Amino acid sequence: MPSVGLPHSMLEAAELIRERRVSPTELAREVLSRTEALQPRLDAFIRITGRRLLDGAASAEEEIAAGRYRGPVHGIPLSVKDLIDVAGEVTTGGGTILPDTPATEDSTVWSRLAEGGATLLGKTNLQEFAFGPTNINPHYGAARNPWDTDRITGGSSGGSAAAVAAGLGLASIGSDTGGSIRCPAALCGVTGLKPTFGRVPRTGVFPLSDSQDHVGPIARTALDCAILLDLIAGPDGRDETVTERTPPGAYEKLAAWSSAQGSSSGRPSLTGVRLGVVRPHRDLARPAVQDAFNEAAMQLATLGAELVGTDLPGEDELTEASMTIVRFDGTRLHAGWFRERPEAYGADLRIAFERVLARPSSDYEDAVRTRRRLSAEILAHQRGLDGLIGPTMLDPAPLISEFADAARAAEARGRLLRLTYLYDATGQPAISAPCGFTREGLPIGLQIAAAPWREVDCLRVAHAYQQVTDWHLRKPPLPA
């Protein structure tokens, strides 16, 4: 299979494999060759598992030839963020403090993907222990944006987003505690879904904040995200936060909806869908981001959606409370290691730990009460709406060099997380989908949130938008 034939999406690759037009081995070799060629430029991976990938592809090929096709990830090269356990592989968490020994069992999410026949391309780079939004890692290097390698990918799942954007695998699994799936998805021009809190088990995933950690997919399209969500969602009997036992059935629902749309007008319809335009999110963004978002909103209105301007009272206070909880949770998790081996952590993380350790525990208790109260109020404020929309990020991807200066770095980090933290605090699902580019060719993301357990509502709006636009089809200026 020539390089120019690399499938654009996971679903496209699955169809080629199912129809025997491409073999899993051919696909694996193509993806591995591209990954090894581009890894020095992008630093998207902490570990590339080439031998494992090829062995898995060979097994998938034998099964499919024998008529045992497992489904849409069978023989598909995927990656996982390197805080997700895969048996036989070391999990670093993006740091150096964890034991340098292979995991003895799979995380639930990888176990479920492996059962579906997925093959592992590697473990992706991330911000050190997921503490931050830049993916500038002091131990493994800064993951670099495929659209401009002098710029950040966003974090903390930056390696995953860079890999998907660059065609290094067909999708990846990341985590999101304050925006760590949606932030890099937006800055790298791909699609990233943060499911509802309690939808996907975190068993075998190194934590940051137990009350806000989410695991979810990063892919090219909303349809690909739906497929992956269906595979990884549901109780595993070990993560007690996973309470929803009804499978999302996201892909089947989207496919049925698309089929019905195609048999009528041939154009997706969002008639009857009420979307709240979060005015502060739009108004605080840079002009280029505002323009791209306004065009996306107009496109959704053209498809029949009713747009309603809305504010979310208490959002800033909720975001700050949520950040406080995450900082305390993460610091407490690392406190013992930090006291014994402070030099094992990067400078940014050492400073963050020291600041939290100097704060009274009452700050944490106050933040928990504030989050509980304001989350309920903000969710109640959304009643009567099918979703909320706004830009995912205030700015396009900043230059890596901007984070060399401490004062500028602090401001830039705050802006990176300004619009995403809210939906981790409320626990509701949110997706980022590409919606434009700046004049410099940097991607811009559209964020769509819905009520808890309503991932399908997010995915439907994103899928409808992707049916009538081509932003998600564009590829960064890298070798084919």
Q: How many CB atoms are closer than 10 A to CB 58?
A: 16
Please tell me the distance from the alpha carbon of residue 329 to that of residue 460, in angstroms, as a whole number: 34
Please tell me the distance from the alpha carbon of residue 49 to that of residue 29, in angstroms, as a whole number: 12
Paired tokens of 11: 């679903």
Q: What is the DSSP letter of 71?
A: -
What's this model's pTM, rounded to 2 decimal places?
Answer: 0.97
Unique residue bearing structure tokens 């978002």: 293
Q: What pLDDT does 378 receive?
A: 98
Please tell me the distance from the alpha carbon of residue 90 to that of residue 325, in angstroms, as a whole number: 28
Please tell me the distance from the alpha carbon of residue 206 to that of residue 91, in angstroms, as a whole number: 9
Please tell me the distance from the alpha carbon of residue 11 to that of residue 9, in angstroms, as a whole number: 5
Catalytic residue among 23, 79, 111, 180: 180
**Among 66, 375, 8, residue whose Cα is nearest residue 191:** 8
Catalytic residue among 156, 157, 209, 375: 156
Unique residue bearing structure tokens 């479920």: 112
**Among 235, 212, 137, residue whose Cα is nearest residue 375:** 212
In 54-99, where do the E strands start and end?
A: 77-81
Residue 180 annotated in active site: yes
- Residue 246 contacts residue 229 (beta carbons within 8 Å): no
Pairing mode, strands 148-152 and 171-176? unpaired
Structural domains for the chain? 3-315+372-473 (3.90.1300.10)
Q: How many CB atoms are closer than 10 A to CB 93?
A: 23
Catalytic residue among 81, 175, 194, 375: 81
Please tell me the distance from the alpha carbon of residue 417 to that of residue 420, in angstroms, as a whole number: 6
Any idea how long the chain is? 480
DSSP SS3 for 18? helix
Counting Cα atoms < 13 Å in the Cβ hemisphere of 322 gives 27
**Among 182, 176, 159, 188, residue whose Cα is nearest residue 94:** 159
- Residue 189 contacts residue 443 (beta carbons within 8 Å): yes
Residue 156 annotated in active site: yes
Paired tokens of 195: 């499911």
Judged by phi (left if over 0) then psi (alpha if -120 to 50, else beta), residue 122 lies in left
In angstroms, how far is CA 182 from the centroid of its own chain? 5
Q: Angle 222-232/10-18 helices, nearest 10 degrees?
A: 70
Residue 175 annotated in active site: no
DSSP SS3 for 322? helix
Output the tens digit of pLDDT for each of the chain's 480 residues: 444 368 999 999 999 999 999 999 999 999 999 999 999 999 999 999 999 999 999 999 999 999 999 999 999 999 999 999 999 999 999 999 999 999 999 999 999 999 999 999 999 999 999 999 999 999 999 999 999 999 999 999 999 999 999 999 999 999 999 999 999 999 999 999 999 999 999 999 999 999 999 999 999 999 999 999 999 999 999 999 998 888 899 999 999 998 887 655 568 999 999 999 999 999 999 999 999 999 999 999 999 999 999 999 999 999 999 999 999 999 999 999 999 999 999 999 999 999 999 999 999 999 999 999 999 999 999 999 999 999 999 999 999 999 988 778 888 888 998 999 999 999 999 999 999 999 999 999 999 999 999 999 999 999 999 999 999 999 999 986
DSSP SS3 for 171? strand
